[in-house]
Amino acid sequence: MPRKILTAATAIAVAGFMPLAPASAQDMSASKPDTRPSITVFAPRARQTGRTYTGIPVETLTAQSVVYTDDLNLATEAGREQLHDRVQSAAESACEWLDEVYPMSAPMTTDNQCVDEAVARADDQVKAAIAAAG
């Protein structure tokens, strides 16, 4: 009798550590990368400045957001304005996410600086997309 209890307990313990099988198997190698025209907006959380006064290295944390442009007619003023609005919105969202995930009592950049820098970093991509549209 004790052997049956031990075997059942062992089976339950082993089953508890086994990973759950996925509900549906997917072949990840078959997934194709998204090749739609896009602009990647990178939002910084802190600037690389070397070390803090205590000697701790300061790292730049970034968040990225992708702005797809395939549905915009960048040859028109309205399309270009919408692209600029999307980049601005993506920058704001990325900076807000960084504030939530990496809160700091005294961040090295303000929210406006974060958004402004993210938009500025995307500017070359925006200009290239507009130039490609003609």
Residue 3 within any structural domain of the chain? no
65-69, 96-100, 125-129, range with the lowest pLDDT = 96-100
- The pair of structure tokens assigned to 95 is 């900076």
Q: Are 41 and 67 in contact (CB under 8 A)?
A: yes
Cβ neighbours around 70 below 10 Å, total: 8
Model confidence at 113: pLDDT above 90: no
Residue 115 within any structural domain of the chain? yes
pLDDT (mean) for 83-105: 88
Q: What is the pLDDT of residue 108?
A: 55
Residue 4 within any structural domain of the chain? no
- Whole-structure pTM over 0.85, yes or no? no
Residue 10 within any structural domain of the chain? no
Model confidence at 18: pLDDT above 50: no
Domain count within the chain = 1
Q: What is the pLDDT of residue 75?
A: 95
For 24, the 3-state DSSP assignment is coil
- The pair of structure tokens assigned to 1 is 């009798």
Residue 25 within any structural domain of the chain? no
Cα–Cα dist 1/78, whole Å: 80
Residue 13 within any structural domain of the chain? no
**pLDDT bracket for residue 7 (50, 70, 90):** very low
Task: Please say whether the dihedral angle defined by the alpha carbons of residues 40, 41, 44 and 50, taken in this order, is positive or negative.
Answer: positive
CA-CA-CA-CA dihedral for 10, 14, 17, 19, to nearest 10: -160
Residue 57 within any structural domain of the chain? yes
pLDDT in tens, 48-68: 567 777 888 777 778 999 999
Q: What is the mean pLDDT of the chain?
A: 76
pLDDT (mean) for 89-112: 78
| C-alpha count within 13 angstroms, C-beta hemisphere, residue 26 | 6
Alpha helices (H) in 18-76, listed in sequence order: none
Residue 20 within any structural domain of the chain? no
- The pair of structure tokens assigned to 67 is 């702005």
Query: Which residues span the domain enclosing 97?
Result: 35-133
